[in-house]
Structure 1
């Protein structure tokens, strides 16, 4: 087919608003930052500077991982982005690659190119100024995967009494779309009608078996998230290098935050300075949650007693395994 003569074709005028968009300083800045980061990632692939002993804070959402991460981030010699990075892992290996099985990843799924992409991504944004500290909620389901990608990595595993953890998850699910997954993954491939249709999307993270809970009660969903997060982490612990698995109980952060963090800092080879000691001593005075106020034990009894009581039998075996009566 021949093209019509150009004098017979009239180009559609570009709306003035679109020109303003193309010329906006914000768009130019965004594109320049994108090009800069792509260039730095390419530079890493040429030079391949090392990433020494990264520290991954892992645990079920609402288990105390954020306060742990924020307190460790005060240490000298650590570098951190200050935000979670699910978008990094989704692009490397996740639901878009595994048929929407879950956001989990296993030792067997790890590939050398996955490690290279992650190292390039971090180096482009942080350089090589110290040890990487990362806290991304889906990584509790990726311990074996990360241990294979980064054999010298340390893992700080935070766990919490399942009754309080499930109750806090319930509160988080009810905080609008703040923790909704569509902002990271887009629409899920299966319809969701959790709690009689109150929720049409998952919150926090997508565990294995999620499809079986798309029409379950919210309490059942949150119990399943807690069970899967902790079970997958415990099962993958054997993949972590000896001496690189560090356990922190949420309840210890309430009862003795100074002692808990002093031990953790020592195990990680970090300096526990007087300023950090003072910070830890004041942890209990401040609200650490954007969901339901200051931390304390057995909050579930006032927040969601009936919902939690309905799943006590489900969580009992893992409760016992974690040392909770």
Structure 2
């Protein structure tokens, strides 16, 4: 579905005639803010509420840091806990702060402090589910604008520094390099969110699948938020809901495809060809052979960026076989061509690696 950039506020401008492309069946809330010009470049359902999933961890960190005093001394145990929560989206750390800082009172405090307009705590039926807090794309931009333009330097450096060091995988094993991280060169900071997918945390999804409320608690949710460009020039907030039962790899690719259509000033796209993988748990290796160390595994059926291909070990997986391996710059490793694109022995239009 193509959405024309229209209906922007007086502080927003559409700089291109193209459209944001939201994949079929996906519900999206989008806000993109260029800090250099002070204008929005994208607004699609900016005030539509979504369950926050792990994006709420931004408010948990800010609430903890709010009254630390001018030195902002953070005990070593809390520093380690906050770092893994921000970099690797650790749920145990989030639950610790949710319980110790007052649960929904955290959201109430941060709404008042940051002037958030549509953010709310989880429904009364699920008080312990911090991932059910209601967030919007517009309010997420407000959170990042506070972090980047108003927060004390120690707070900004700590939170944004950790978001710039986001790990490839969350502590729950989910690959969190979709959306912003899949499209742009390493000059980005991300806080991602996922909820409802098989194997994700019970704090991001209710295992009993509650009935839908004012905020959808049922459909699979996948969010990409953060900043791109030198000096964190452009703030990005993309919230998405997917039909119930959507596989993680499909949602991962849909959010990445959507992100590729956004106007993000200052963002530098990683060059290469986008190809879809086949198979489940396909390993990325440090060298074009099975003797190379395993760097990670791909979600089933995802779009990946391929920069070049290199001849290596012959892999025979009937009906396909190939001695060529695709280099994935975002993983800094290789995947056999057997599982990339059509499975042809050599990928058409993709150059050889030097």
Length-normalised TM-score, structure 1: 0.31
Structure with larger Rg:
1
Which structure features the higher share of strand residues? 2
Identify the structure with the greater helix proportion.
1
Structure with higher RCO (Cα < 8 A, 6+ apart): 1
